[in-house]
Amino acid sequence: MSARAQITLTALADIPLVQPGDDLVDIVLDALQQSDILLRPGDVLVIAQKIVSKAEDRYVDLGEINPSRRARALAAEVEKDPRLVEVILSESSEVVRNRPGVLVVAHRLGFVLANAGVDSSNAEQGSGSERVLLLPRDPDGTCADIRRELSVHTSTQVGIIINDSHGRAWRNGTVGVALGAAGMPALLDLRGAPDLYGERLEATQVGLADEIAAAASVLMGQGADGQPVVHVRGLPYPLRVGAAAELLRAKSNDLFR
């Protein structure tokens, strides 16, 4: 009889409120120690987008934004603050869909999502400021950097995911998705593998990094939970070089654009 498959997810303890310039590797190493977790080869760490953006100082103060004519016109259509729309447009390559209350864009990094990921929730406000937080500059690159530094400190190769909450076509509710990934297969290609009856799979590709991100989101929460780093152990696939860019569908293959 084969051993029962098991994956464990653990939210790391004592993660402080992250400030611009903070070293996320140091924060993660301290949290691993506080959580009594020693990294093993094949482990994965899932890190919330918010703390990555905060460490990178991806704040924008809406009070300093002068919206363009285009932003004002679009803001009237979607019933949003013109300054916010200006920031969204600055992060976007294309407006995909819009209606009152909804602005879906193609982010400059390739993601299609609402408001280019620009968000004010869990963004610390200074005196008199109206700050919003942008997505990280280079999520895959940041994951690779964190993975490399953790390897130096721990002599262990792990996978890294930056997790964000996105809505989905056809379904209500947000789920965690991988904005960035390193050291693991973000997209798992099972084409050619046999099914239970020995038939070859013809089209099966699994968004593995998204599946892990969604699972970690259950522990991270969406509000005041304060659990932005999750340790994953027992992934039944070997780690390899990878990036979340593997998950992005080319516009030419997108039937909805």
What pLDDT does residue 1 have? 44
pLDDT at residue 114, rounded to an integer:
93
What is the C-alpha to C-alpha distance for residues 206 and 86, in angstroms, rounded to an integer?
A: 35
Same domain, 167 and 87: no
Is residue 151 assigned to a domain? yes
Asked whether residue 33 is domain-assigned, the answer is yes
- Residue 257 maps to a domain: no
Which uninterrupted H or E stretch holds 232?
strand 229-233
pLDDT at 239: 83
Say yes or no: 97 and 110 in one domain. yes
DSSP labels, 29-64 = HHHHHHTT----TT-EEEEEHHHHHHHTT-EEEGGG
164 and 48 share one domain: yes
* Domain CATH number, residue 92: 3.90.1660.10
Distance from C-alpha of 144 to C-alpha of 47, rounded to nearest angstrom: 13
pLDDT score at 253: 84
**Do residue 202 and residue 145 come from a single domain?**
yes
Extract the residue ranges of the chain whose pLDDT is less than 50.
1
pTM of the model: 0.92
Q: Which amino acid does the sequence have at 161?
A: I
Nearest to 43 by CA among 222, 232, 171: 232
Q: What is the pLDDT of residue 95?
A: 96
Domain that holds residue 189: 8-56+136-247
Q: Between 24-34 and 139-154, two packed helices, what is the crossing angle to 10 degrees? A: 50
Per-residue 3-state assignment (H helix, E strand, C coil) for 99-126 = ECCEEEEEECCCCEEEHHHCECCCCCCC
